[in-house]
Structure 1
Amino acid sequence: MKSFKRGLLVVSSLMLASMSALAAAPAPTTNPRRLGTRAIVACDPVEKSCGVASISFPAGISGLVPYGRPDVAVATMFYPSVDDAEAILARTAAGDTAQGAVDFVFSVDPYANYRQLAAVKLNPDGTVTVGQRTGEQNTQHRCAVKGTTFVVQANNQTTPAMCGAMAQGFQAAKGSLPQRLLAALKAGALVGGDRNGERSGVIRVWSAENEAAFYTHVLVDAVVHSSSNALKELDVEMNRYQASVAAPYEADLIPLDSETSKYVKLVLSKLGYYNGRVDTSWNDADEQALYDFNWNNLFFLKPTVVVNGVRKIDRPLVRFLINADLGALLPATTATP
């Protein structure tokens, strides 16, 4: 760590044409005791989306760890480097594999030993490449797992079992990519966490195929800073964003069972959209109330649908309603069609 006492140099530019790295200004006040996190980086070739989910101690994680676009996602950790992340994005855009891009960055960054980098690239033909490197100067409590469409990496954790638990949680999860990324973070929390505690988190997913891509490539953007309930709040914020901004995914449909039906009608009743009995049934009046709520509060309409005789509803929407801040939602009005 002596080199950091003299000032940390970062790679300023890794231009594809010149294949050169330039040193930037030093950052002598970086505190290595607070640098540690866990993350999962993944792409979905069916949804054609890529994203990063990460949770850690220090605030600012949303600006330090995740970088990406609809066809590639990058997590830069321990001593994060925006220059390294941008170099990986540039090289994968030029046709390099995810591992090739990471390896190149490690070969030219003079402080690669203090980096932990993960990248996942979604190719136009639907294939996925993954890449990961951890420098030797990372904390001893580190791990990494590479799957076919994802990478899990962590450092400064309470257990090296963290990466395996997150990988298993991701693979076992159902639903859209954002939902599975969240499941991976939850699975990791069951075996340990950041040695400083987990107080901040981010889930960011990019997509060019979701209907929302007409307006934005950011499918999900959930951020929590300095909270003692960071993972719980991240769950709430992610579902609020996905339910409000993104078009629904078939993979996120869940049965509208009796308890879900009752809770949805309870929220619609409190907001003035529903005037009937708050029971476990579902009829045309209930569907109209849900439509009216959708029209006033969501970017995309999310009605219930019947699949193989089973009525289903969007899971992010249900989670959104369960944790709704009713004061932040528009109540029923005469303007509702």
Structure 2
Amino acid sequence: MKSLKHGLLAASCLMFASTSALAAAPTGRANPRLMGTRAIVACDAVEKSCGVASISFPAGISGLVPYGRPDVAIATMFYPSVDDAEAVLARVDAGNTAQQAVDYVFSVDPYADYRQLAVVKLNPNGTITVGQQTGAQNAPQRCAVKGATFVVQANNQTTATVCDAMASAFQRTTGSLPQRLLTSLRAGARVGHDNNGERSGVIRVWTSENESTFYTKVLADAVVHSSRTALKDLEVEMNRYQATIAAPYASDLIPLDAETAKVVKSTLSAAGYYTGVIDGTWNDAAEAALDAFNWNTLFFLKPTVVVNGQRKIDGPLVNYLRNVDPKALILGGE
């Protein structure tokens, strides 16, 4: 088995027969100490969406790890490769399953030993295929779990159990795909993390079904660079995007209980929308304040709704209000 240094210098180009794309060889200057991350790749046949959530140490993983569109999501890791990702897209478009596409790419890539590649494909008939491979020269403490609709993979971790934790959480969780991807990342953090620490992350989900696709196919987009609280920041950014840009999902509705009512009222009051008592009740004045906030701030309106006799509210919106600077919500304010 060739060494990493020899592997990086051995070839000058890579030709993928399926795409006729010429890929330059790595320069050999990439720092292997920073290679390593964990990610989950998944599709949802009901939402008609696919996405990637990943967290690692170095800034810039948002441009390295996730590739995709509403019907396919890809995570290319350890020594990431845009050419591998594009070759996978070409293969699945030609009719390959996700695993067939991954297997082909690994068979022609001279650096396959140093790759970790996960693919999930949503077919027009609603079926989903998954594929994954990890090269033999990948980092220690690597792992991978394939489910019916998702793949979890990781390398250079403090423990290889992160994959099982992330997979289990994703399968147990309800809600929209972005929220389930986030929950999976959080579950992994409870048992382990990147050996270098986790300072940067990305959650990106594409969809063809949400009402927002008239304007954009990006259902969720959150990016964090070089933060000591990267996972928390990623959660804040994703809820901010999903609450303000994406149309709501019924699966993200949560009960408007007393604690939630206080959170919403408090933020609306600080932003100048609500002037009543900040308590755990909900009344017409609170709904009017939320309505005014909706019209001034959100791309899609998210009022409270009554489901089976219980008043509910959009969960990402509540989380957004819980963490936002209220002054940033003041229309025309400085």
**Please, what TM-score do these two structures have when normalized by structure 1?**
0.94
> Where do 1:226-245 residues align within 5 Å?
226-245=226-245
The CA distance in 2 between the partners of 1:224 and 1:4, in whole Å, is 31
**Structure 1: runs of 5 or more not aligned:** none
Contact 2:157 2:195 in 1 (8 A): yes
The CA distance in 2 between the partners of 1:258 and 1:8, in whole Å, is 63
Contact 1:56 1:199 in 2 (8 A): yes
Residue aligning to 2:186: 186
The CA distance in 1 between the partners of 2:13 and 2:291, in whole Å, is 52
The CA distance in 2 between the partners of 1:232 and 1:8, in whole Å, is 41
Q: How many residue pairs end up in the alignment?
A: 330
Residue aligning to 2:200: 200
| 1:169 and 2:172 matched | no
Residue aligning to 1:215: 215
The CA distance in 1 between the partners of 2:22 and 2:273, in whole Å, is 59
The CA distance in 2 between the partners of 1:167 and 1:22, in whole Å, is 35
Residue aligning to 1:82: 82
Contact 1:202 1:221 in 2 (8 A): yes
> Where do 1:128-147 residues align within 5 Å?
128-147=128-147
Deviation at 1:7, TM superposition (A): 6.9
The CA distance in 2 between the partners of 1:233 and 1:66, in whole Å, is 18
Residue aligning to 2:60: 60
User: Percent sequence identity over matched residues?
Assistant: 71
In structure 2, do the counterparts of structure 1 residues 72 and 9 end up closer, same or farther at CA, with 3 Å as the change threshold?
farther
Contact 1:204 1:220 in 2 (8 A): yes
Deviation at 1:272, TM superposition (A): 1.3
Deviation at 1:14, TM superposition (A): 2.9
Residue aligning to 1:111: 111
User: What SS is found at the alignment partner of 1:73?
Assistant: strand
Residue aligning to 2:6: 3
Structure 1 range deviating more: 288-297 or 87-96 = 87-96
**Structure 2: runs of 5 or more not aligned:** none
The CA distance in 2 between the partners of 1:281 and 1:9, in whole Å, is 67
The structure 1 segments of at least 4 consecutive aligned residues displaced by more than 2 Å after TM superposition are 4-11, 13-16, 19-23, 330-333
The CA distance in 2 between the partners of 1:314 and 1:26, in whole Å, is 46
Contact 1:45 1:122 in 2 (8 A): yes
User: What SS is found at the alignment partner of 1:237?
Assistant: helix
User: What SS is found at the alignment partner of 1:104?
Assistant: helix
Residue aligning to 1:247: 247
Deviation at 1:25, TM superposition (A): 4.5
Counterpart of 2:173, as a letter, is A
The CA distance in 2 between the partners of 1:100 and 1:6, in whole Å, is 28
